[in-house]
């Protein structure tokens, strides 16, 4: 299967996921997936993110198959990322007060970020799934820093109300796992899934990810 005949369709409108996916060097388009993201009763975080990633991919795959010509746009890529602390999933904040409350709860503590990736062949229905779990230690930022960050508006569309890559806030310290996963798309896990379809990204994915995020990754060799 050639690269040119296997373009990807990203089931997301997230600018962060588009930036990350561009690093692997395969052509892609993006389309938002609108699904019900309400957790089911007693649904574990891992089950929840896997279900959402799978449902996003499935929703986008049907029209993709119907409209694609030749071999184009045949693999749908979807992801979901959630912040988990004290066994509770912290989704996107409802408002500024909710964002501030989440950040106070996370402050000075280590929580878990769980990301799932689903790669779905729109024609055959073959599905490849990956999960990345990262421990994320937060620094003891001040109330004033929380107020300034919330006023910036950045937390409002992010699980747990923060972005690990934010240059001004820098919420995380001593992190030693997959940076891209906390951003929303674990690239090495995605690469591993795509290889099962015979798709080898032309880029050196770990090197591209580390350059982009200005982060030395200690785990990529374990994944790939």
Q: Which class for 69: exposed (0-12), middle (13-18), buried (19 or more C-beta within 10 A)?
A: exposed
Q: How many CB atoms lie within 10 A of CB 53?
A: 27
Domains in the chain (CATH in brackets) are: 3-223 (3.90.950.10)
Q: In the chain, what percentage of residues exceed pLDDT 70?
A: 92
pLDDT digits 0-9 by tens, 19-61? 999 999 999 999 999 899 999 999 999 999 999 999 999 999 8
Q: In terms of DSSP H, where are the helices of 68-186?
A: 96-106, 143-152, 179-183
Identify the residue with better confidence: 63 or 28: 28
Annotated catalytic residue 80: yes
pLDDT at 171 (0 to 100): 97
pLDDT at 74 (0 to 100): 80
pLDDT digits 0-9 by tens, 139-152? 999 999 999 999 99
Q: Is the pLDDT of residue 198 over 80?
A: yes
Q: Which two tokens stand for residue 30?
A: 């993006």
pLDDT digits 0-9 by tens, 90-110? 999 999 999 999 999 999 999
Q: Which of 80, 98, 121, 154 is catalytic?
A: 80
Q: Is the pLDDT of residue 1 over 70?
A: no
């Amino acid at each position: 299967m050639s690269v040119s005949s296997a373009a990807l369709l990203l089931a997301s409108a997230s600018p962060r996921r588009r930036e990350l996916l561009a690093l692997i060097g395969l052509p892609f388009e993006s389309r938002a997936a609108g699904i019900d993201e309400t957790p089911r009763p007693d649904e574990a975080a891992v089950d929840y993110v896997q279900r959402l990633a799978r449902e996003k991919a499935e929703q986008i795959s049907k029209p993709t198959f119907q409209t694609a010509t030749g071999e184009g746009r045949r693999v749908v890529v979807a992801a979901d990322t959630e912040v988990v602390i004290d066994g509770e999933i912290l989704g996107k904040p409802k408002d500024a007060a909710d964002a501030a409350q989440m950040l106070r709860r996370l402050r000075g503590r280590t929580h878990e970020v769980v990301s799932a990736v689903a790669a779905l062949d729109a024609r055959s229905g073959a599905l490849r799934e990956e999960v990345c779990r990262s421990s994320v230690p937060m620094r003891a930022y001040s109330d004033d820093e929380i107020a300034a960050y919330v006023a910036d508006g950045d937390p409002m569309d992010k699980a747990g109300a923060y972005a690990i890559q934010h240059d001004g806030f820098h919420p995380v310290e001593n992190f030693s796992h997959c940076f891209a996963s906390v951003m929303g798309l674990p690239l090495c896990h995605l690469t591993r899934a795509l290889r099962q379809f015979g798709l080898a990204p032309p880029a050196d994915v770990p090197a591209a990810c580390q350059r982009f995020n200005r982060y030395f990754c200690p785990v990529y060799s374990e994944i790939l």
